[in-house]
Chains A and B, each alone.
Chain A
Amino acid sequence: DAGVIQSPRHEVTEMGQEVTLRCKPISGHDYLFWYRQTMMRGLELLIYFNNNVPIDDSGMPEDRFSAKMPNASFSTLKIQPSEPRDSAVYFCASSFGTSGSGDQETQYFGPGTRLLVL
């Protein structure tokens, strides 16, 4: 399996621009997670989906952030308008979730998108 795929790997944009990050989870996984990692705050969960439905978006910083999962193999995280404080590495992760053994809850991370907002 190719693992979790994210694009782009790096993004440099100017304040006020729209940014769209993309994620393809591991085939068969029914949970998808979006995280943000910064030096100051560490790795934070932004939102997660189960079977394409958003379950918990309490980690989304504000209305400028939105996420969608139109089908089982694709999700987007959008920031509009972007601000310099959004600069971070954004990770997508996926897992089987709760079916079967507990090990199926293990989350596998994509390579991340390094975002820099100038």
Chain B
Amino acid sequence: EDKVVQSPLSLVVHEGDTVTLNCSYEVTNFRSLLWYKQEKKAPTFLFMLTSSGIEKKSGRLSSILDKKELFSILNITATQTGDSAVYLCGGSNYKLTFGKGTLLTVNP
């Protein structure tokens, strides 16, 4: 059975801090790793990673995949209160298996 594990489950930081969210996966016929941000609504797409060692960046967010060790990290620098959300990681072999998510709370 495919499995995705995220850590930590929750995290509380102050504005301006840098955070690292972790995702490990065991997915048969793995194709890609996706990160989503979920506030009080539907998950919104952040990154899709298919190749090891190539960092993807979008503003203060970045992510990288290690296909040898079967994990990915999502970094957020200079956090803002608007970054507060659940961050979901999903391993894809056409269908997505999601982890339970990391609840990030950024306090002013």
> Which residues of A pack against B, CB within 8 Å?
31, 33, 42-45, 48, 55-56, 91, 97-98, 102-103, 105-112
Contact = CB atoms under 8 A, between A and B. Distances in A.
Residues of B in contact with A, size category: 20 to 34
Contacts, number: 51
Given A43-B88, A102-B50, 11 more contacts: A33-B96, A45-B95, A91-B42, A97-B94, A98-B94, A102-B48, A105-B31, A105-B32, A105-B48, A109-B36, A111-B41
A103 to B, nearest CB: 6
Interface of B: 31-32, 34, 36, 41-45, 48, 50, 88, 92, 94-101
Given A106-B34, A110-B42, A45 B100 contact: no
9 closest Cβ contacts across the A-B interface?
A109-B42, A43-B98, A42-B100, A102-B50, A109-B43, A111-B42, A106-B48, A45-B95, A112-B42
